[in-house]
Amino acid sequence: MMTQTELSQYNNAWYNPGAGMLKRLAWYYVNTIFFNSSLFPVNLLKISLLKLFGAKVGQGVVIKPSVNIKYPWFLQIGDHTWIGEGVWIDNLDWVKIGNNCCLSQGAMLLTGNHNYKVATFDLMVSTIILEDGVWIGAKSIVCPNLTCYSHAVLQAGSVATQNLTANKIYAGNPAQMIKDRFAA
């Protein structure tokens, strides 16, 4: 028998967003004004605001304009990482980004999804880890509950639905390993 979606029964009361309503509201406005717009390209201000709201941010991090970050208190960014224009970090759970990573324009890191197998369309959240040297190509998507191991590459427009092996290049939807990153 096929289960039909019944959104009137949806309930994510179990989910803890990690901060009270006032902090989340304050972050919403800070994110809208300083991050998710192109009016404030000043990197140092963005880093300071992220830290103020609980993010762990390393040295030399570059955050371009029009970036959207759901909850900075669930964000860790290593040293010398670049976050390009239009990146969306939808971190309902922890997103841990290592050193020397690159998130290209329009990339999406999605820690949440819904369970389509149950009528109530339950929310599911899980961590994303990008180890050192990972490159997420433009307009690519990294799905919940996976690790991109050291120096893995997800090519532009690809969708990672499983862990990415170290030093490998992945492409497609779903992303498949196509070759070694550092092949001679």
pLDDT band at 184 (very low <50, low <70, confident <90, very high): low
Q: What is the pLDDT of residues 61-108, one digit of tens each?
A: 999 999 999 999 999 999 999 999 999 999 999 999 999 999 999 999
Is it the case that residue 21 has pLDDT exceeding 80? yes
User: Residue 89 — φ and ψ, nearest 5°?
Assistant: -105, 95
The domain tally of the chain equals: 1
9 lies in some domain: no
56 lies in some domain: yes
Residue 87: CB atoms within 10 Å: 23
pTM metric for this prediction: 0.95
**Consecutive H or E run containing 56:** strand 56-57
Is it the case that residue 3 has pLDDT exceeding 80? no
Range of the domain at 130: 20-178
- Give the strand pairing for 168-172 and 175-180: antiparallel
5 lies in some domain: no
Looking at residue 167, which CATH number applies to its domain?
A: 2.160.10.10
Q: What is the pLDDT of residues 145-165, one digit of tens each?
A: 999 999 999 999 999 999 999
